[in-house]
Amino acid sequence: MFIGHFGAGFAAKKIDERPSLGTMFFASQFIDLLWPVFLFTGIERVQIDSGNTAFTPLNFIYYPFSHSLISVLFWSVLFGSVYYLLKRNLKSSIILGGLVASHWVLDLITHRPDLPLSPWQNFKMGLGLWNSVLLTMLLEGSIFIFGAFLYMKTTRALNIKGTFGLWGLVLFLSLIYVLNAFGPPPPSEKPIAILGLSIWLLVAWGYWIDRHRELRTNG
């Protein structure tokens, strides 16, 4: 799942207005921000395998430290704890930790059985929605659209940057999603890690958007 995680970040702003949209994106995509680092260092592995699923050619061979359930729960607690130490806000800390954990739940729906439960055993889970391009795009697109809608209902633009910055991000993410679904597969594994690191730019985009929007007084 890709834009569905951003949809979760958008939606979280409706639940808790204090953290920036960028922080919500940071939490919801935290696992996929760790993953390319582990790829570069050789700790985890992925292969290009056309036909692996209908939706993506990526074969996630080994990624227990970023994507196993136990690891994700560890990262979730760590993320929430660090935020609490910095901001002393328990509600926000719990929600942000929950966003980190939501990554595994959403991936569970789309991935084939390649998500390990822990780094120490081989049992893997996945409901395999990626075997259907249509169903994948309907579900993930719905999560993304609903989340963006909630964010728009919760905030309003302070200036033109707040309007076009938000719509620009929504359109950009939608375009990237379609290209990932129907474009050619990556030529090798290394560009995957590079593109994964580019998610940091989208997190920064979220911070920038939130600086040019304010909360609606009617919620």
Structure tokens, 112: 């084939």
Q: Coil, strand, or helix at residue 205?
A: helix
- The tally of domains found in the chain comes to 1
At 141 the pLDDT is 95
- pLDDT category of residue 191 using cuts at 50, 70 and 90: confident
At 219 the pLDDT is 43
Structure tokens, 164: 């076009």
Q: Could you list the residue range(s) of the whole structural domain that residue 49 is in?
A: 3-215
**Could you give the CA distance from residue 166 to residue 127 in angstroms, rounded to a whole number?**
32
- pLDDT category of residue 218 using cuts at 50, 70 and 90: low
pLDDT digits (tens, 9 = 90+) for 85-135: 999 999 999 999 999 999 999 999 999 999 999 999 889 999 999 999 999
Q: Report the half-sphere exposure of 24 (CA within 13 A, side-chain side).
A: 28
**Could you give the CA distance from residue 114 to residue 107 in angstroms, rounded to a whole number?**
10
Residue 188 scores a pLDDT above 80: no
pLDDT digits (tens, 9 = 90+) for 127-164: 999 999 999 999 999 999 999 999 999 999 999 999 99
Q: What is the DSSP string of 81-139?
A: HHHHHHH--HHHHHHHHHHHHHHHHHHHHHS-S-EES-TT---EE---GGG-HHHHHHH
At 147 the pLDDT is 97
The pLDDT mean for the chain works out to 93
In whole angstroms, what separates CA 76 from the centre of its chain? 13
